[in-house]
Amino acid sequence: MTDRTQAGEVKQISSLTNPWVKDVRALSMKKTRDETGQFLGEGLKLVTDALAENWPVDAIAFTPAVREQPHVAKAAATVRARGGSVMEVSEAVLAKITRRENPQMVVGVFRQRLKPLKEVKVGKGELYVALEQVRDPGNLGTIIRTVDSVGAKGVILVGETCDPYSFEAVRATMGSMFHVPLSRTSREAFIDWARAGSLRLVGTHLKATHDYRKVESEAPTVLVMGNEQAGMTDEMSEACTVRVKIPMAGQADSLNLAVATGVMLYELRREALS
């Protein structure tokens, strides 16, 4: 069934067995995301952030309750004008797609977009973050959001990492994933790239003795963070120009990865942010 609104042609879906519903619901599986090159995100903010960055949005879906809201109508019109689909769906359909009891009233289907590492050029005073084998999608999303907050330039996923396009990672970015370029590479290729660009790799390591507050922040820099359980590999640690530690006073063995990344980012960006 079709209808015409301010947004253009809108497909209305209320059947839980509609093939589109099935396809979008399947985006919760990594296999489907890899095959289709798509991912799902929840909330109007995510959709408007994606559109603001000219990010490819394949579809927007929303409930009748919000269809008249100006920002929803505008986002729908933009998606439509750029060749995407606009769906008006029941709340039950949204709950099925998102696998959540109380989903937000707007969702988007987006194209994945990774920046090849060879196209990443780190300029003087610029900062990137490399995450070796990050496993927790909540940590990854939080780090992408923090990278955006401090005006760092991008995130490089090194080795086997969790999927940045999982629902949980995307949600934790709060829209920042559309503003922060992401790259993915092997450890060997990352180390070669850093050497070829004469980049300063600031590694964070629990066995380091150098205080993280003593690192200068002028050079082209990549902050390197280790895995949640095992920390950084020896190969990566040896490749780092400097290894630093964030002092701790209590009984904890280490900081959470996203928290440690936040502390480091604020220190390395202290001059830019002051």
**Alpha carbon 52 to chain centroid, angstroms:** 16
- CB nearer to ligand SAM: give 47 or 236: 236
Residues that contact ligand SAM, how many (by CB under 6 A): 14
Neighbouring residues of 23: CB distance < 8 A, sequence distance ≥ 6 = 36
C-beta of 255: minimal distance to ligand SAM in Å?
4
- CB nearer to ligand SAM: give 103 or 231: 231
C-beta of 201: minimal distance to ligand SAM in Å?
12
Structure letter (DSSP) for residue 219: S
**Alpha carbon 242 to chain centroid, angstroms:** 27
x/- binding map, residues 220-259, to ligand SAM, per CB under 6 A? -----xx-x--xx------------xx-x-----xx-x--
- CB nearer to ligand SAM: give 126 or 228: 228
Given strand 221-225, what is the order of strands in its sheet? Answer: 182-185, 154-158, 127-132, 221-225, 200-204, 242-245, 210-211
- CB nearer to ligand SAM: give 66 or 246: 246
SS3 at position 169: helix
Among 204, 215, 222, 262, binds ligand SAM (CB under 6 A): 204
DSSP result, 124-142 = TT-EEEEEES---HHHHHH
C-beta of 248: minimal distance to ligand SAM in Å?
5
C-beta of 185: minimal distance to ligand SAM in Å?
18
C-beta of 9: minimal distance to ligand SAM in Å?
49
Among 236, 260, 265, 268, binds ligand SAM (CB under 6 A): 260
Structure tokens at 94: 């949204």
Residue 206 makes contact with ligand SAM by CB under 6 A: yes
For residue 108, which of 32, 55, 184, 69 has the smallest C-alpha distance?
A: 55
CA dihedral of residues 7, 11, 12, 14 (deg, nearest 10): -140
Binding residues for ligand SAM (CB under 6 A): 204, 206, 225-226, 228, 231-232, 245-246, 248, 254-255, 257, 260
